Amino acid sequence: MEWVNEGAAVRVSLIGFAKEADQPFMLDGQPVAAIHADLTGSSETTGALDLTQAVPLPENAGRSFFGLCLAGAFAVDSDTARRWLHQPNPHGRPNSEVLRPIWNGVDVTQGWKGRWVIDFGTNLSENEAALYEAPFGHVLDKVKPVRITNNRKARAVYWWRHGETRPGLRRKLAGLTRYIATPETAKHRFFVWFPISAAPEHSLIVIPRDDDTTFGVLSSRFHTVWALAKGGRMGYGNDPRYNSTMTFETFPFPTGLTPNIPASAYANDPRAQVIANAARKLNELRENWLNPPQWVERVPEIVPGYPDRIIPKPEHAAELKKRTLTNLYNQRPAWLVNAHRALDEAVAAAYGWPADLSNDEVLRRLLALNRERSELALTMRSPT
């Protein structure tokens, strides 16, 4: 139910307990045979489907991360960033080493707002950071006065660095040219590609993989159904919330295509190839819809390797603003439905399942697969 105070983006659940039940269990106004710990229920006819039994799988561990937690005014607008990119530094190093575009969840769902972020990494000293004159000056002026009073000692002492520098994420991203991300909270569950030069903010969940097969499995109905069932809800809109531990780490990928296996190891697997082709097609169609070549000009960024600047042609600027991923998935045009259907069929084949399974049956099979793999992992760890 919605919170009573006007303007509060909050929904609440009311739960009643009894020592002994003298009447049927009720959930959302409907009688159920059982209520599980995640506030889902099971009926007498469908049987128990308790998704709280799903556990994180070793093969998925350490393969998804929150984006950068800035904890300070490290973000600047595009004009400021591009001005700094032209400026020299006393040690001869470019500001592009500590400055890059940053995206958050709203940027993914509604379009990029043009923010850049100052990023001094995980171990740059204060003196080393100061050699990047303009970016450091901004942090000195805007971030330090607030951070030195922070109750967390590390944030106060290392005020020129982000609040959470995410060293684990950075190690996993090293050597990649792109990575996968999804908004933590969004009306629709979709995954997108980012070039390695773009920084993800904390409202994005990052999967540091660069292969189309992983992108395809995550973008399929099988993962979406699992994510909706295992994730939480947030805010006035009751939007689905993606959770690395309970959503990604519990999800059983098709056998042989799990995140602990390098993509090169299954590059010749026909299942992986079909999924990858369908995933590439989906992404290509979406990108062409978001930024039609006839409506925009792509201008190379000041720094080579950074994403091109997408400049709307004046006569199409107003219409282009409406082209967001949220609006696309609200509309679900036939071409998008067809592209997702092709991807779902490819992923279903990788599992060895029919493509037309009901959502409930998908959940049953995924839960069974999760339990099978978790039990196998326990057996392998147990001493003989």
User: Residue 367 falls within a domain, yes or no?
Assistant: no
**pLDDT tens-digit map of 153-173:** 999 999 999 999 999 999 999
User: Residue 359 falls within a domain, yes or no?
Assistant: no
Answer yes or no: do 247 and 138 share one domain.
yes
The total number of structural domains in the chain stands at 2
User: Residue 273 falls within a domain, yes or no?
Assistant: yes
pTM of the model: 0.88
* Residue 125 burial (C-beta neighbours within 10 Å; 0-12, 13-18, 19+): exposed
**CA atoms of 280 and 303, how far apart (whole Å):** 27
| Residue 43 CB neighbour total at 10 angstroms | 14
User: Residue 65 falls within a domain, yes or no?
Assistant: yes
Answer yes or no: do 210 and 153 share one domain.
yes
Answer yes or no: do 17 and 99 share one domain.
no
- Structural domain including 220 reads 60-351
**Which residues have C-beta within 8 Å of that of residue 124, sequence separation ≥ 6?**
98, 160, 161
Is the model's pLDDT at 325 over the cut of 60?
Answer: yes
Answer yes or no: do 40 and 64 share one domain.
no
Write phi, then psi, for 243 (nearest 5 degrees).
-125, 125
Answer yes or no: do 169 and 116 share one domain.
yes
Answer yes or no: do 26 and 136 share one domain.
no
Q: Which residue has the higher pLDDT, 60 or 36?
A: 60
Confidence grade of residue 336 (pLDDT, cut at 50, 70, 90): very high
pLDDT of residue 44: 44
Answer yes or no: do 142 and 162 share one domain.
yes
User: Residue 159 falls within a domain, yes or no?
Assistant: yes
**pLDDT tens-digit map of 243-263:** 899 999 999 999 999 999 999
